[in-house]
């Protein structure tokens, strides 16, 4: 390796393990193996993410007959997962680190970036820092996390499609907003009706009995009178486009998609709540006033085994709720805004949970420690968003305390 052993190993903290450093990319990675004494045993070289290349690397390592080897790599979304799985299944100790942490401890301060250099940075990071051994989560938590991420992905898509849906409704039959007031425009019956009759003129040209049959089939209470009212409104409507415009066809398709996405999301919400109830933490978290079953399920899905967090500092950092640190000369400000460098799904869930708690308390007039803390922050001059964010940390403290009691 370029440089001497001292360029790799800092004598302050030297683990007795040899280090296999892997700089992960999408379909290939750079690997190097360095002994605990700093000797490069395998020079950096590139491997593909294939069983053949993984097995060849394992054979090279086996021939060296080393007592203990730890693997270190950065978390890279999903790209590191095949390598992580391979080495865990072959009984290696694996450390998957936050890439932000890796950047903070770069060995080379010059603006150079090569895959080999990144490998050596990981080696240096391994030998100069203390790491927790990576423990693969139980299958329950892996399944919950997969469902949680699927939920957030579909929910985001559904929000975008709904925005398109509302815009097309305005162009094709704006009075639908009044016919299906509020959120009922997203109800199953509204979506199916708009899919079938996406334009005012289509309704105007349809017999009343056919419209009535639609509502009767869906067991609508006012199945006789509702279609008459809709047709009267349609006859007076003057949409932005005529019934032969391509946008009308678009609306029909989008209405069907919204319906399908909502049904898929409902299935995921049911599955994730059902699975989360198998966790020993479910009842404790669900006992918090204002935190419902689905919110509890998402919290468990995103945190996994909460016992892995030793204290609130680790947990807030994981969620990205720890304060950012700004330093200028000798001045250090540790009271900056939250870092947002952690789990964004947890931050979103906690924010919604705290907002719900405050809304519920506002309606019931009951006192609650989260709501009291919110009012305290508001009285200190903080705006609504900042006050809610402050409450998320308080809620997180409560969650950790309740779960730690179970593990005593």
Q: Which helix (H) or strand (E) holds 235?
A: helix 225-236
Residues 168 and 97 in one domain: no
Determine the distance from the C-alpha atom of residue 14 to the mean position of all C-alpha atoms in its chain, rounded to a whole number: 35
Residues 132 and 15 in one domain: yes
CATH code of residue 48: 3.30.420.10
Per DSSP, the three-state class of 95 is: strand
Which of these, 146, 387, 175, lies nearest to 275 by C-alpha position? 146
- Tell me what the mean pLDDT of segment 97-101 comes to: 71
Residues 83 and 105 in one domain: yes
The predicted-structure confidence for 361-373, as pLDDT tens digits, reads as follows 777 777 789 999 9
pLDDT of residue 362: 72
Residues 299 and 401 in one domain: yes
Q: Pick the more confident residue, 212 or 100.
A: 212
Q: How high does pLDDT run on average in the chain?
A: 87
217 Rama sector, left if φ>0, alpha if ψ -120 to 50, beta otherwise: alpha
Residues 89 and 17 in one domain: yes
The predicted-structure confidence for 273-286, as pLDDT tens digits, reads as follows 999 999 999 999 99
Residues 26 and 102 in one domain: yes
- Tell me what the mean pLDDT of segment 238-258 comes to: 97
Domain that holds residue 58: 5-136
pLDDT of residue 342: 82
Residues 98 and 163 in one domain: no
Which of 101, 136, 171 terminates a domain? The answer is 136
Whether residue 378 is predicted with pLDDT greater than 60 in this model: the reply is: yes
Which of these, 400, 386, 388, lies nearest to 317 by C-alpha position? 400
Identify whether the C-beta of residue 116 lies closer than 8 Å to the C-beta of residue 30.
yes
Q: How many domains does the chain have?
A: 3
Whether residue 267 is predicted with pLDDT greater than 50 in this model: the reply is: yes
Stated pTM of the model: 0.80
Q: Return the minimum-mean-pLDDT range out of 31-35, 58-62, 108-112, 114-118.
A: 108-112
pLDDT of residue 293: 97
Take residue 225 and report the two structure tokens written for it.
């009178």
pLDDT of residue 132: 58
Q: Which helix (H) or strand (E) holds 333?
A: strand 331-333
Handedness of CA 177, 183, 188, 189 (dihedral sign): negative
CATH code of residue 236: 1.10.287.4070
pLDDT band (50, 70, 90) for residue 324: low
pLDDT band (50, 70, 90) for residue 102: low
């Amino acid at each position: 390796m370029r440089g001497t052993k001292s360029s790799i190993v800092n004598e302050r903290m030297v683990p007795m393990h040899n280090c296999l450093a892997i700089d992960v990319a999408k379909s290939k990675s750079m690997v190097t193996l360095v002994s605990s004494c700093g000797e490069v045993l395998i020079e950096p070289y590139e491997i593909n993410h294939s069983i053949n290349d993984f097995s060849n690397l394992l054979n090279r390592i086996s021939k060296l007959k080393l007592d203990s080897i730890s693997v270190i790599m950065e978390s890279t979304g999903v790209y590191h997962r095949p390598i992580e799985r391979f080495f865990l299944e072959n009984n290696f100790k694996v450390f998957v680190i936050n890439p932000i942490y890796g950047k903070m401890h770069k060995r080379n301060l010059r603006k150079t970036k090569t895959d080999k250099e990144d490998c050596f940075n990981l080696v240096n990071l391994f030998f100069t820092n203390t790491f927790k051994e990576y423990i693969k989560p139980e299958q329950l938590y892996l399944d919950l996390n997969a469902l949680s991420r699927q939920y957030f992905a579909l929910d985001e898509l559904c929000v975008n499609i709904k925005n398109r849906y509302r815009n097309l409704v305005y162009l094709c039959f704006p009075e639908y907003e009044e016919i299906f007031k509020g959120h009922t425009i997203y109800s199953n019956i509204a979506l199916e009706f708009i899919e079938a009759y996406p334009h005012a003129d289509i309704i105007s040209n349809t017999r009343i009995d056919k419209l009535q049959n639609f509502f009767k089939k869906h067991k609508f209470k006012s199945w006789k009178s509702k279609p008459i009212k809709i047709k009267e409104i349609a006859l007076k409507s003057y949409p932005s486009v005529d019934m032969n415009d391509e946008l009308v066809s678009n609306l029909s398709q989008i209405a069907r998609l919204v319906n399908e996405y909502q049904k898929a999301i409902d299935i995921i919400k049911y599955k994730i709540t059902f699975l989360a109830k198998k966790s020993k933490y479910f009842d404790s978290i669900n006992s918090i006033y204002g935190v419902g079953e689905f919110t509890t399920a998402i919290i468990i899905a995103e945190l996994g085994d909460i016992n892995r967090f030793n204290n609130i500092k680790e947990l807030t950092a994981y969620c990205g709720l720890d304060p950012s640190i700004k330093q200028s000369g000798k001045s250090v400000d540790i009271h900056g805004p939250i870092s947002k460098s952690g789990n964004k799904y947890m931050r979103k869930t906690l924010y919604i949970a705290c907002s719900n708690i405050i809304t519920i308390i506002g309606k019931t007039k009951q006192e609650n420690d989260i709501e009291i803390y919110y009012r305290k922050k508001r009285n200190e001059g903080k705006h609504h968003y900042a006050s809610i964010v402050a409450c998320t940390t308080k809620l997180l403290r409560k969650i950790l305390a309740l779960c730690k009691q179970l593990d005593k």
